[in-house]
Amino acid sequence: MRKAFALPTVAIAAAAFPLLAMSSASAHEGASSYQADLGALNQSGVSGTGMVTLDGNTATVMIEASGLLAGAPHAQHFHIGAAGTCPTAADNKDGDAFLSTTEGAAAYGAIGTSLTVTGDTSPDSGLAVDRFPTAEGGSLNYERTIEVTDDVHKAFEAGTAVLVLHGVDENGSGTYDGDVKSDLDPSLPMEATAPAACGALEVAQMGAAPAGGAETGAGSTSGIEAQGAIGVGALAAVGAVAAGAVAYRRRQADQA
Ligand SMILES: [Cu+2]
């Protein structure tokens, strides 16, 4: 009896420590977190936040936004290759009712990644409306881990990556319609593709920066370490459960 109880403890320790060592050795070297505060374009009233963690070219993307046209799909992209900023009303060069996606490109650039719900995420899927999230009740809550291209990764590092959400109900009809056709696809109304919200992706300052920390990077570094610590805890817990199961089976075998 005494022996049977002692065994799991030893097994847990043996299982947990290699995991701890393994996890700290691969402590997400080079992972960086970015944040975009989404501001409205085209008087959409949209607000929200985008969070992106880049580990190599693996991007974990989280977007929360509200004030969107309810029940409608909203194309969303990382735009890259320009100023890394969001356009202003002055970028509405033709002075019509819309700041079009093309007019905004001087500020935020071309599509680098299509933030679809499933499947391809390349610029080819830029208008794959059936694979973009639908804003139920006007809100959108997106999370996906994807691979981005080297160009997109470099844009994040250069501070020229911008998160853009599309689709505005300019005429308040409750759906994408109107006489103005999209600059991107003339088979679609302009409302379906005009930018609704935009935020430059900047290095995130997660949590409180440690006292006396460096001006840049300290916040995000502490954030990454915190994530690592959570990971270690989770892995150790998994290890403990597995070890416990092994020990249990051994006890059962002994008794048999
Ligand atoms: Cu876009």
pLDDT score of 109: 98
Triad 144, 149, 151: Cα angle to 5°: 125
Domains and CATH numbers, the chain: 2-15+216-255 (no CATH), 32-203 (2.60.40.200)
From residue 164, alpha-carbon distances to 25, 89, 111, 129, 215 in Å are: 36, 16, 9, 15, 28
Quote the pTM value: 0.71
The Å distance, Cα 142 to ligand 1 centre, comes to: 15
The Å distance, Cα 75 to ligand 1 centre, comes to: 7
pLDDT digits (tens, 9 = 90+) for 45-89: 999 999 999 999 999 999 999 999 999 999 999 999 999 999 998
If we measure between CA atoms, which residue out of 100, 107, 101, 58 comes closest to residue 80? 107
Model confidence at 29, pLDDT cuts 50, 70, 90, reads low
The Å distance, Cα 105 to ligand 1 centre, comes to: 9
Q: Above pLDDT 90, what percent of the chain?
A: 66
The Å distance, Cα 97 to ligand 1 centre, comes to: 19
pLDDT digits (tens, 9 = 90+) for 203-253: 997 654 444 434 444 333 333 333 333 333 333 333 433 443 434 344 444
The Å distance, Cα 110 to ligand 1 centre, comes to: 8
The Å distance, Cα 85 to ligand 1 centre, comes to: 13
If we measure between CA atoms, which residue out of 50, 55, 80, 87 comes closest to residue 156? 80
The Å distance, Cα 134 to ligand 1 centre, comes to: 15
